[in-house]
Amino acid sequence: MRRGGYVAGILLAALLLLTGCGSTFPADPQGTLDRARGGTLRVGASINGEWVRIAGPASGDVRSGDIPTSDVQGKDAELVRDFAAQLGAEVEWVAGTEQVLADELKHGGLDLVIGGLDDKTPWVTHAGLTRPYAESRDERGNIHKHVMLVPLGENAFLLELDQFLMAAKEQK
């Protein structure tokens, strides 16, 4: 036991040392947060009712690069725009189906996916989920806890987004 205490103590000391050294804790293995801050946030948007609406021709198609930010509307889109503003980042929108966007997220082509998704989303194999930041009730009376998708294991980025979402939820 005494030995266990030592090991744990050393471990904690090492942790505090590392966090004290200015590197973020938790850190992103792929550096998503660092890249987005003051840079570009690549966001996939999948059309879904009041959460994500995309104006313009053939709005259901997969498009990227040329979508004016004003074309993307809805509750989720507003949150993303505010989050990007907090990071000082430009949003680069990509429109598509959940399938295409989740796959892109998994392979590092996106930083964030929105589309009125809830915490029962099947895309947990491809992505990490934020904390639920809103609830809605569908016509069958089921409650949906809404989440966004982030790249797997990008924990600094996820924590930053979680903190933003919780703050935004409290302001309402």
Partner 1 sequence: MTNVRSSGTVRFGHTELPAEQRDALHKAIKLEWVTLVFLAVSTTMVFLVLGNSQAMKAAWIEDLLSFLPPVSFLVAARINRKPPSVDHPYGYHRATGVAHLVAAVALTAMGAYLLLESGLGLLAREHPTIGGLDLFGNTVWLGWLMMGVMLLTAAPPVFLGRAKMKLAGKLHDKVLYADADMNKADWMTAVAAVAGVAGIGLGLWWADYAAALIIAASILRDGVRNTRAAVSALMDKRAMTYNDAGPHPLHGQVDGYLRGLDWVADARSRIRDEGHVFHAECFVVPLSRTTPTFEQLQAAREACVAMDWKIHDVVIVPVAVLPSEFVPGNTSGGER
- Regarding 155 and contact with partner 1 (CB under 8 A), the answer is yes
- Regarding 121 and contact with partner 1 (CB under 8 A), the answer is no
Nearer of residues 17 and 143 to partner 1, judged by Cβ: 17
- Regarding 162 and contact with partner 1 (CB under 8 A), the answer is yes
Among 13, 15, 41, 83, binds partner 1 (CB under 8 A): 15
- Regarding 29 and contact with partner 1 (CB under 8 A), the answer is yes
- Name the residue among 167, 160, 161 with its Cα closest to residue 147: 161
| CA distances for 99 relative to 35, 59, 93, angstroms | 25, 16, 16
Residues 113 and 95: their CA atoms lie apart, in Å, by: 10
> Is 102 in contact with 126 (CB distance < 8 Å)?
yes
- Regarding 154 and contact with partner 1 (CB under 8 A), the answer is yes
Nearer of residues 51 and 133 to partner 1, judged by Cβ: 133
Nearer of residues 29 and 39 to partner 1, judged by Cβ: 29
Chain-centre distance of CA 162, in angstroms? 8
| CA distances for 1 relative to 10, 13, 58, angstroms | 14, 18, 66
Nearer of residues 53 and 145 to partner 1, judged by Cβ: 145
Q: Contacts with partner 1: how many residues (CB under 8 A)?
A: 34
- Regarding 152 and contact with partner 1 (CB under 8 A), the answer is yes
> Is 151 in contact with 108 (CB distance < 8 Å)?
yes
Residue 37, strand partner residues: none
Number of Cβ within a 10 Å radius of residue 28: 20
Nearer of residues 79 and 95 to partner 1, judged by Cβ: 79
The site for partner 1 (CB under 8 A) is made up of 1, 4-5, 7-8, 11, 14-15, 18, 23, 25-29, 128-131, 150-156, 158-159, 161-163, 166-167, 170
